[in-house]
Amino acid sequence: MSFLVHHVSGAVPYSQIVFVRAVVSSFVLLPAISLADLNLRRPATSFLILRGLAGSVALCSYFWTLANTSVGNARILADLAPLLVAVLGWLLLKERLSPRQVAAIACGVVGSGGG
């Protein structure tokens, strides 16, 4: 999919690609949603809406990156996101990292070509 988005991004704005992907995904998921017993008046509904907005921003950012750089660079950025979240959690939220997690982060950075 990344290659297709990169290929058509010269002719179609990334925002339209995101919109079409959302519409197609909605139609694909509609049967499963209609069969599920959903109660959208729960306290967690606001968290679900916030998660949906965050996912939309992430998808728009990823497709923008695909439109403006190579597919390889975009994939590296997307694949390094969990490592960056762990490091930012340690720096900003003072979360503790185990030695195993530090080793995994180091392997990820070295494996991405950053070390």
pLDDT attached to residue 115? 56
CA distances from 75 to 39, 51, 115 (A): 36, 22, 18
**What are the structure tokens assigned to 65, written together?**
């990156």
For 49, other C-beta atoms within 10 Å of its C-beta total: 11
Rounded to whole angstroms, how far apart are CA atoms 4 and 9?
8
Task: Give me the residue spans of the domains in the chain.
Answer: 1-68, 70-115
pLDDT attached to residue 81? 86
**What are the structure tokens assigned to 41, written together?**
């008046």
The pLDDT profile of the chain, 115 residues, written as one tens digit per residue, is 777 777 777 788 878 888 888 899 889 988 887 887 776 677 777 888 898 899 889 888 888 888 888 888 888 888 888 898 999 999 999 999 999 999 999 998 888 776 5
Residue 5 DSSP one-character state: H
